[in-house]
Structure 1
Amino acid sequence: MNILQPQKGKLLIAEPAILNDDSFNRSIILLTEHTSTNAIGFIINKPLGYTVNDLIPEIDNDFTIYQGGPVEQDNLYFVHNVPDKIPNSIEVSNGVYWGGNFDSLKQLLDTKEIQADEIRFFLGYTGWSSDQLKDEIATNSWFISENSYSNIFTVDEKKAWKNKLLERGGDYAIWANAPENIQLN
């Protein structure tokens, strides 16, 4: 099996071995930055019970907010595929962009010029120091996958982790069908 290395634009898939970790159990993380000193990403498959309007009342918008990770959970982040509409965006890869001018984004949200399938919002992010991610991959907390989604903003969060395990095959297929709470089995 060809082993992928972590890099910007790749996906980190939580190994079944971390089922007892509340933050990362069954997570899929989009890596938005990977350098020799750090890595940053956002969990793309864990919606929260909040909308943009819940967190920013002056914006009339009901897009779902996702759990981005355990770091800086009081900050709102966003990833999108419309850099022509949101200036100062940073390209992650394959037409996916991180951040940009928030005032422009607010106007787009207010005027309904941006759709839910073009953007995803996150509370917090996931971050690692230089060797921390390598160590976690080496100890089977994560495996790396290509971002094979045609649109990462329409991922079915209920099936995404299971489907990535099934793609991997082998013993992963057994874990893909395990109940979310093993103790209830």
Structure 2
Amino acid sequence: MDDMSKLAPQSGSLLISEPFLQDENFVRSVVLLCENNEMGSFGLVLNKLSIFKLEELLEGHEFLDKEVYVGGPVEQNTLHFIYHGEQQLEDSVALGEKLWWGGDFKELIGKHKLGLVDISDFRFFLGYSGWEKGQLKDELLENTWIVCDNSHAKNIFTVAPDDLWRIILKNMGGDFQVLANYPIDPRLN
């Protein structure tokens, strides 16, 4: 494999599931790593749409006609968000150039109502993906994930969710282009 897959993941890195991963929560997943430290790791699956719209989840917010993604299998009763562009919320955490995680949701709603933020720049998630201390490192040693720097993060907001896994691998070049075309079930070829 290319040296890119051997990168130590850090906040803002993308974790691309290897094509043989059969865990139903992470098959063909692209995870944005929001936090990775000695205590554990936190990320959001970028390419798994939920059946909900944001307006259905938040009473009194019918004006938020925005799809919601499944961020992962942990605490699916929590809402998280990322956005791109310039920093729009005071408490947002930078995950790379023009990529932000979280912030004060009330500030987001207030600014949206005033027309100061474009809600299309935001992506919302139910739940998250979490790893205990050392768990992600072990999974990386088992080649469960391909680590990609966030130079491919621009694709998060422009590529259809069903295509994101494949497109990022293709854009990584080299051996990853071959993996991008690997069938979900090779027995069917």
- Structure 1 length as normaliser, TM-score? 0.87
The whole-number CA distance in structure 2 between the counterparts of 1:6 and 1:174 is 23
Task: State the match for 2:99 in structure 1.
Answer: 96
Unaligned runs of 5+ in 1: none
RMSD: 2.2
Of 7-16 and 99-108, more deviation after overlay is shown by 99-108
Task: State the match for 2:70 in structure 1.
Answer: 67
Cα 1:117–1:180 shift into 2, 3 Å: farther
Task: State the match for 2:149 in structure 1.
Answer: 146
Task: State the match for 1:32 in structure 2.
Answer: 34
The whole-number CA distance in structure 1 between the counterparts of 2:187 and 2:20 is 15
* AA aligned opposite 1:153: F
Post-superposition shift, 1:116? Answer: 4.4
**1:169 matched to 2:169:** no
The total of aligned residue pairs comes to 183
Q: Alignment identity in percent?
A: 36
Contact 1:23–1:70 (CA under 8 A) maintained in structure 2: yes
The whole-number CA distance in structure 2 between the counterparts of 1:156 and 1:23 is 19
- Structure 2 length as normaliser, TM-score? 0.85
Post-superposition shift, 1:151? Answer: 5.7
Unaligned runs of 5+ in 2: none
The whole-number CA distance in structure 1 between the counterparts of 2:187 and 2:68 is 29
The whole-number CA distance in structure 2 between the counterparts of 1:115 and 1:151 is 18
Cα 1:141–1:88 shift into 2, 3 Å: same
3-state SS of paired residue (1:66)? strand
Contact 1:61–1:109 (CA under 8 A) maintained in structure 2: no
* AA aligned opposite 2:36: H
Deviations 1:44-81 (A, max 9, x none): 11111211101113112111100101111001111123
Of 41-50 and 161-170, more deviation after overlay is shown by 161-170
The whole-number CA distance in structure 1 between the counterparts of 2:149 and 2:43 is 14
Task: State the match for 1:57 in structure 2.
Answer: 59
More helix by share: 2
3-state SS of paired residue (2:150)? coil
